[in-house]
Amino acid sequence: MSPEQVSVITATVPVLERYGQNITETFYRNMLAAHPELKSVFNMTNQQTGHQAKVLAGALYAYAKSIRNLEALGPMLELICHKHASLHITPDQYDIVGKYLIEAMQEVLGDNFTSSVQYAWTAAYSQLAKIMIQKEASLNDQHEEWKDWRDFCIVTISRESDEISSFYLSPVDGKPLPTFVPGQYVSVSVYVPQLGYTQARQYSMSDVPSTEYYRISVKQERGQQFPPGVLSNVLHDIKAPGQIVKVSHPRGNFFLSSVSETSPIVLVAGGVGITPLLSMLKFLTSTTSTIKRPIHLIYATRTTTARAFFKEIADTSRSNATVRVTFFVGSPEAGDKAGCDYHHEGRLDLNRLDAQQDLFLNHTQTEYYICGPSPFLEMVKRFLLVQRVESSNIKMEVFGAGGFAETTSQAHL
């Protein structure tokens, strides 16, 4: 991009702040009307709710604002590229997106979308697409043996709570599975009868790596047309093993970042956000792991019947002296006993825990891994920052409906 074009992009920041979502809503509407085959690529629930348009508008705004310092976008682009790689986004799809994005800007901004603005944004999008295509190609090149969707069979279904079931996925070809880093996810693609096309979602693995299967654990959601958990309902409607689904190679950059360290780890889970954290917990306490770090799992759910993996977590804690567990339950069930079925009644409140014994705030290298819905994450993050925890020691992943990983951006660029 020329310096003049960079200046033009910078000048459009206030425009994107005001009209960004109008642009992205127009973009998605026109593109999906002209290319209905892309409905299988995009999350149509997020299309229906407007969430995807809102997130893409935010991403475009961030890109324009950081056009002189693209390094600042590194974490966001890393998240998006991992997701794109898991969905097998292709370079030609970037061309389609670019065409309809520029046309949407023209439609919404009208005469304000001058030729200089058009040329600048065409160059800016081309630059961004090139960066992302190269990054995604690099991710794919790391796994030459598995670059496309792969057929898996659901070999076991296990009910974990009133809302959550685990699905054990085994490759149809029988070849050993590559390992993954605890915390990562796979994309699962399934045909959705009520939509008439496939949809894919990202589900974190909830077990330690195995060469024979991946375990994902999915929360069931109920709704009407385009329910918040449309794919989770399709999976939960499977009553017996044998169903074939398509699965991508494990991706994601929410994982244990320093497995060679001995510093404490605090895992904070909200609802179905327990899934990647359970994978981390089981890995850290597995016989194959030589690392014995102080670990505290803090798990908050609405009720004890909605809570998954209670026995699995309790057994892990009892058999590992370095592991402690604290359960918060919003509304205990009749017969639940404090100190046995749960430790604290009510919503998660980290102020009720000991700063040193429970949260290891006296240890400057303590790592905090948080997973759950967005408000839950923001609450925990605010608390930790007030306690002067370094932001680099706080790792988070947002979970959407059904327990799929949203990371910080669901937008496709």
Per-residue pLDDT tens, the chain, 413 aa: give them: 899 999 999 999 999 999 999 999 999 999 999 999 999 999 888 888 888 899 899 999 999 999 999 999 998 899 999 999 999 999 999 999 999 999 999 999 999 999 999 999 999 999 999 999 999 999 999 988 898 999 999 999 999 999 999 999 999 999 999 999 999 999 999 998 888 899 999 999 999 999 999 999 999 876 545 555 688 888 998 888 999 999 999 999 899 876 557 889 999 999 999 999 999 999 999 866 666 789 999 999 999 999 999 999 999 999 999 999 999 999 999 999 999 999 999 999 999 999 999 999 999 999 999 999 989 999 999 999 999 999 999 999 876 544 444 444 344 44
| pLDDT for the residue numbered 401 | 44
Provide the token pair at 89.
């986004």
Place of tokens 């409906």: 401
- Taking the CA atoms of 45, 50, 54 and 56 in sequence, report the sign of the dihedral they define: positive
Spatial distance between the Cα atoms of 203 and 275, rounded to a whole number of angstroms: 9
Provide the token pair at 9.
């992009």
How many residues are given for the chain? 413
The closest of 208, 216, 206 to 170, measured between CA atoms, is 216
| pLDDT for the residue numbered 399 | 66
* Candidates 136, 163, 221, 367; catalytic one: 136
* Candidates 94, 168, 214, 299; catalytic one: 94
| pLDDT for the residue numbered 150 | 97
Domains of the chain, start order: 3-141 (1.10.490.10), 150-247 (2.40.30.10), 265-403 (3.40.50.80)
Q: Are 173 and 220 in contact (CB under 8 A)?
A: no
Pair type for strands 295-301 and 323-329: parallel
| pLDDT for the residue numbered 403 | 42
- Taking the CA atoms of 220, 225, 228 and 234 in sequence, report the sign of the dihedral they define: positive
Provide the token pair at 327.
């359960």
Spatial distance between the Cα atoms of 107 and 58, rounded to a whole number of angstroms: 19
Spatial distance between the Cα atoms of 337 and 333, rounded to a whole number of angstroms: 9
| pLDDT for the residue numbered 412 | 45
| Phi/psi at 73 (5° precision) | -90, 0
Q: What is the pTM of this model?
A: 0.89
Place of tokens 């385009």: 226
pLDDT tens digit string along 256-269? Answer: 876 557 889 999 99
| pLDDT for the residue numbered 404 | 43
pLDDT tens digit string along 176-216? Answer: 999 999 999 999 999 988 888 999 999 999 999 999 999 99
| pLDDT for the residue numbered 98 | 97
Where would I find the H helices in 252-404? Answer: 274-284, 310-318, 374-386
Does 136 participate in catalysis according to the annotation?
Answer: yes
